[in-house]
Structure 1
């Protein structure tokens, strides 16, 4: 191996030196390769077994390799769904002294597949639509962080199954560029590239008789634009509310949650008409809510419960005009003055029916419906009596449910549907 071989990596693995860098990548022996499905790429790409894990090795020019490595590192730091960069190797030469291309090394994204591999399996007819949804979400997240992709396509994306849907990850940043923010023109051009590329890729699948013949490829491509614009609108347009319209704030938050995004903060702003609340949405990562709520309050609850409780905590912070206070102090006051009093207001004999976090979640739901009916804000304590009488008393105790058979459980669920 040539002494000119250079490895650029934050944490280089010594095992990298054992790989046959003196051989062109397309000629690497099977014993070092991992048999994983590969997508279409303009470069030679191989999956390689290394130290008990799998890495992706892409043969590419030195300048481009270093640039893409740095871009992927930046995307990783801002928590954008993308492959993790491992390093760049330059100075490769064959045994005969012939110069070989540099390589970019990334971590293989476990449980991910290229879109062609997904279509080669038996999948539901709406697979193309679900992939488009995932790609739209990824593109919005990239644009929100100022990343211009430049070559948006299904080929440059990896997909993971996610509870009946898909999560998309950027795998090729070669043509990308990171800015403070993107202009409308940059976003529109990136989106047009995506639309054209997706239609072309789906037509290619159709020609190969891989795509369901009932799928309208042009319509699916156009759906990417529609889905993207819907998400961008929801995530970037500020809404203003009067202090007495907190139930409308909850409606906006619920709409964002339904689209798969979360509200990271609620800002306060004052104008000539008085104090109004502005929602500034923010995309956060999976598990974020559980970790944040545990850190702030010590409450150990499920992710969706944590999200709901945190939304209420943030609304409490905005309503009490404490945007400048430390988050920990606000959380302590919310716990002492909102959450715990609401739970204590429930009769002790009924508290075993649901977990406290679930009771609080249902109370928030009940308050939202009652506030909507009244067209004014109601406090949690205002709605506790009707929640107890109309909802909680009709629920079975959680412990009792454990011993029931399937038929009885189904009957209980039917009763719950009628009550809701």
Structure 2
């Protein structure tokens, strides 16, 4: 066994590696939904964490482990690769495929749930935006996915939007330098074909709203990709006295969550204008800034929303003539604002959403309450109202169950690993809502 991070290897030694994954005993497994996969996948809980184990050829397992680790170092949202178990054999000496171990992404939602309108009628476009942005971010770092699909992606809430994470990288390749246009177009062709097929599958399952056309929707992801790609990479021509346009573009890129490593300026001979080529190297501008200030690791949109609240707190808490550094204000904000909100959530409701998403929704709820009341509502009153009228009625997104999502490659199981009967599904429907 080779593990780069994660649980104590002695815990992993207790798993039945000499048994084919399809035959693992139910008491070792936990019940979580999974998407369509070419390989056998099982979930296990070790030391309070849930891990996904995929049985796969050793060469592919080691390749995918390496790609996931390298992408994570580049700041791309991917599942965490924990290790590879190779050289497996049965007690009789028969060889078994290797096993890739990754950490399950907490609070992630499968795409079939997002398209089922069980959670939010606006999640379909948010899902498509998130997938397009993930593909852009992969291409910016030189990664050719070669199998872009909704099945190979997990989604987490991000301040009302969604953040997409790459789950399956076995066919992908991280290349030195930028991808060529041909390589990018090949990835887009594969993405469009896979997306259309998956959406047609949803349509056949009765999960796709009638007004959603699978082919047009698949094409819209490519259009979203091309728009964002142009915004991030297109050269800009300007006059010698128009540097304000570059500043405007840099601010726009920062609002999108991207940093600019450097700006190349090339004046063509005989041309009175300057051609400026920005080089965008990494997303996560707001997320990194918030982490530096507070130590909170959150999604990009959540960070943007929290930074706005932090700026408001600073303007209200610090007198104009007083000079207080940003780090000090941020520490006070965490103690005075963020932590009290999260600590007010009862233990029974903490699996509903991530802490950062709860805080974002409290801020949104406070705004609506203040708008209705005609005056500023305190954060304490907003928290109590949000817990009583909103959060307690939300489904648990740490591990969401939905009987309508069964079949067509989705796997559902009870806590013992077996299937849920009709009575159990009715109980789940009562708990999680329609």
Q: Same fold (TM over 0.5)?
A: yes
Higher relative contact order structure (alpha carbons within 8 Å, sequence separation ≥ 6): 2
**What secondary structure does 1:74 align onto?**
helix
Q: Does 1:47 align with 2:43?
A: yes
Corresponding residue for residue 162 of structure 2 = 166
Deviation for aligned residue 1:125: 3.6
Deviation for aligned residue 1:277: 6.4
Specify whether residues 278 and 63 from structure 1 end up closer, same or farther in structure 2 by C-alpha distance, changes over 3 A only.
closer
Deviation for aligned residue 1:107: 0.8
Structure 1 contact 83–170 (Cα < 8 Å) conserved: yes
Q: Output one character per residue of 1:306-348: Cα deviation in whole Å (capped at 9) or x when no partner.
A: 989xxxxxxxxxxxxxxxxxxxxxxxxxxxxxxxxxx9xx9xx
Corresponding residue for residue 410 of structure 2 = none
Out of 216, 220, 225, the position equivalent to 1:219 is 216
Deviation for aligned residue 1:164: 2.1
Structure 1 contact 289–306 (Cα < 8 Å) conserved: no
Gaps of 5+ in 2: 296-301, 309-313, 327-366, 378-434
**What secondary structure does 1:281 align onto?**
strand
- Say how many residue pairs are matched: 313
Corresponding residue for residue 407 of structure 1 = 373
Q: Distance in 1 between matches of 2:209 and 2:236?
A: 41
Deviation for aligned residue 1:118: 2.9
Structure 1 contact 62–101 (Cα < 8 Å) conserved: yes
TM alignment of 1:247-262, pairs within 5 A = 247-258=244-255, 260-262=256-258
Q: Cα RMSD over matched residues?
A: 3.4
TM-score norm. by structure 1 comes to 0.66
Specify whether residues 120 and 96 from structure 1 end up closer, same or farther in structure 2 by C-alpha distance, changes over 3 A only.
farther
TM alignment of 1:70-149, pairs within 5 A = 70-120=66-116, 122-149=118-145
Q: Output one character per residue of 1:204-243: Cα deviation in whole Å (capped at 9) or x when no partner.
A: 0110101111111111101011011111111112325556
Q: Output one character per residue of 1:92-115: Cα deviation in whole Å (capped at 9) or x when no partner.
A: 122232222111111111111221
Corresponding residue for residue 239 of structure 1 = 236
Structure 1 contact 69–88 (Cα < 8 Å) conserved: yes
More helix by share: 1
Deviation for aligned residue 1:289: 2.1
Q: Does 1:189 align with 2:186?
A: yes
Out of 4, 8, 25, the position equivalent to 2:2 is 8
TM-score norm. by structure 2 comes to 0.64
Specify whether residues 31 and 263 from structure 1 end up closer, same or farther in structure 2 by C-alpha distance, changes over 3 A only.
same
Specify whether residues 241 and 289 from structure 1 end up closer, same or farther in structure 2 by C-alpha distance, changes over 3 A only.
farther
Structure 2 contact 31–43 (Cα < 8 Å) conserved: yes
Q: Distance in 2 between matches of 1:134 and 1:205?
A: 19
Deviates more, 1:23-32 or 1:145-154: 23-32
Corresponding residue for residue 375 of structure 1 = none
Structure 2 contact 159–305 (Cα < 8 Å) conserved: no
Please say which structure displays the higher CA radius of gyration.
1
